[in-house]
A and B are shown apart, each in its own frame.
Chain A
Amino acid sequence: MTDRRGRGVDVGDLPGARRLVLVGVGVLFWGWLLARWLHDWVLAPDVNTSDREPFVPPARLEAVAEQLHDLAAGAGAAAGLLEWLAGGVEFAAFGVDSMPALAAGAWITVYLTVLSILLGLMIAIPLAVARTYGGPVLRWIALSYTELIRGTPLLAQLFVLYFGLPTTRYIREFHGVGEGFVPYAAIWVAVIGFTINSSAYQAEYIRSALQSVDPGQLVAARSVGLSRLEGIRYVVLPQGLRYAIPGWTNELVYLVKYSSLAAFITVPELFRAARNIGSDTFRVLDIYLVAALFYLALVLTLSVAMSRFEAAVAIPGVGSASERD
């Protein structure tokens, strides 16, 4: 099922009741997450992540599960259903218990993703312009960079940066790294790795968007007396970047999930937080299910935010939201 834009259905297009549920879940999730972050940083900044207490004591849920088990013992035919319910409540109790740690991981995931996609964008735009409008040398350099990065595994790139090169040593020399809100070296290595990696993919999305801008636009810009670079900046990019939004959103959504690879260079982001809990509790399936819900919430939020953004910057006749003439 696709809408008029040829993409998935937006939350905003859903009928009333379903939309209300999704928006409600979103408000609940983000309300809780923001409260959690605020609480952990401002009210209780010196508590270890593993010692943080959930807002709702899981003991209460565990007690409910206990009662359900007792009920099931004497319920005869309804026992199966009650046991199943008890399992659900137990899962919820476990989820609640792990949430402070996952919230801390989610912060790093959000942080990694947002910083890397934006820094990557700053590299991707010149790359895409070089590929599309550059001379042979520039085109070759941009092409080599893109193909080298896209042609090798992201995990290998992270390993090279973290284990292979003395990247962390250089980063540690910067003043303030690892103090207060400034993350420590491994996180910066991850940001560098994701920035480089996503810049190559973003450049490809932007390049194809630039190519869909009518060449007559640049000719007209030049005919007014703008230089080639000015024409690209004032005329081609404002249109091309609008065309690029859907593809760019795709890259953003990928990056949220690929950021989990930072776990392998010791970054305690969402996936690593879940893995740690899994190895402590041996409840591997449960914890990855909870983590999956976190990723789902992040991705859905970004999708909705990006389609809002696309609509906000839409111009009649420009971009994927409208017919081109």
Chain B
Amino acid sequence: MARLLEFDDVHQAFGDENVLRGISFGMDRTDVEVVIGPSGSGKSTLLRCVNRLTEFDAGDIRLNGESVTAMDVDALRRRVGMVFQGFNLFAHRTGRGNVTLGLTEVRDIPSGEARRIADENLARVGLSGQADSYPAELSGGQKQRVGIARALAMEPELLLFDEPTSALDPELIGEVLEVMRDLAEEGMTMLVVSHEMGFARSVADTVTFLDDGIVAERGPPEQLFEHPERDRTREFLGELDT
């Protein structure tokens, strides 16, 4: 059976800059994969190639064995949810409205039913009381949890997290990671770009260290964090510790 997600020698350049230089790895259903690496290593680009917010130049990315480039892009995005570093909540819609838009317009669910699903997913991220609040009235952590609920409500096969806690004040990071931890336990397949090593260590099945557009090292967190094979990995992890 085909793997849920497979990167096959993915290349991507912006002008002269080769951001991705041949990425290959795969993940299965219920896997939690955390991608780490220095800034500019291509982590976010890799993520955005999956739902084709960025179109890659060469190689292939397959979802359940089917090339994402062959799929209708809107259908692909409906199957692959995304959570952004900057939240990107629809500013003119309430917490609930953020969740229902995709339900009513993409999944063609009647508005009453969409409301029910939205409230269910908001409850799942602990925001039942904030359904009627606008993004400007929410804290960063609450915004990001609405972002997660918005992606979850589409019932995606795979959730992409693009540095979901990087824009948050330190005291707000915990509540978002807590939600992500719960999702992992429920069996959600997640591809996470993050600098939260604690989260990677305790939740990830596999950690990928991306450096200069290639997979420099990849393995279970205990191996990668405790016994990195490459000097570059050791160096990067060392920089984080200091």
- Cα separation A217 to B91 with both chains bound (whole Å): 8
Instruction: List residues of B whose CB falls within 8 A of some A CB.
Output: 51, 53, 74-75, 77-78, 81-82, 84, 86, 88-92, 101-102, 105-106, 134-137, 150-151, 154
Q: Do B101 and A224 touch (CB < 8 A)?
A: yes
- B77 partner, pick from A214, A225, A235, A242, beta carbons under 8 A: A225
Give me 25 A-to-B residue pairs in the complex whose CB atoms sit less than 8 angstroms apart, sorted by A's number: A216-B84, A216-B86, A216-B88, A217-B90, A219-B84, A220-B84, A220-B89, A222-B77, A223-B77, A223-B81, A223-B82, A223-B84, A224-B78, A224-B101, A224-B102, A225-B106, A226-B101, A226-B105, A226-B106, A234-B101, A315-B92, A316-B137, A318-B92, A322-B136, A325-B136
With contact pairs A216-B84, A234-B105, A325-B136 given, residues A226 and B91 touching in the complex (Cβ less than 8 Å): no
10 more contacts with CB within 8 A, not counting A216-B88, A239-B92, A317-B91, are: A220-B89, A223-B81, A224-B101, A224-B102, A225-B74, A225-B102, A235-B90, A242-B92, A318-B134, A318-B136
Tell me the chain A residues, 220-248 only, with Cβ under 8 Å from chain B.
220-227, 230, 234-235, 238-239, 242
- A220 partner, pick from B90, B105, B154, beta carbons under 8 A: B90
User: CB-CB < 8 A to B82: which residues of A?
Assistant: 223
User: CB-CB < 8 A to B51: which residues of A?
Assistant: 223
Chain A at the B interface: SS class: helix
The 7 closest A-B pairs by CB, nearest first: A317-B136, A225-B78, A220-B88, A224-B102, A225-B106, A216-B88, A223-B82
User: CB-CB < 8 A to A318: which residues of B?
Assistant: 91-92, 134, 136
User: CB-CB < 8 A to A217: which residues of B?
Assistant: 88, 90-91
A21 to chain B, nearest CB (A): 37
User: CB-CB < 8 A to B136: which residues of A?
Assistant: 316-318, 322, 325
- Cα separation A219 to B86 with both chains bound (whole Å): 11
- A315 partner, pick from B86, B88, B134, B150, beta carbons under 8 A: B134
B46 to chain A, nearest CB (A): 15
Q: Do A224 and B106 touch (CB < 8 A)?
A: yes
With contact pairs A220-B88, A225-B77, A238-B92 given, residues A316 and B101 touching in the complex (Cβ less than 8 Å): no
B186 to chain A, nearest CB (A): 21
- Cα separation A322 to B137 with both chains bound (whole Å): 12
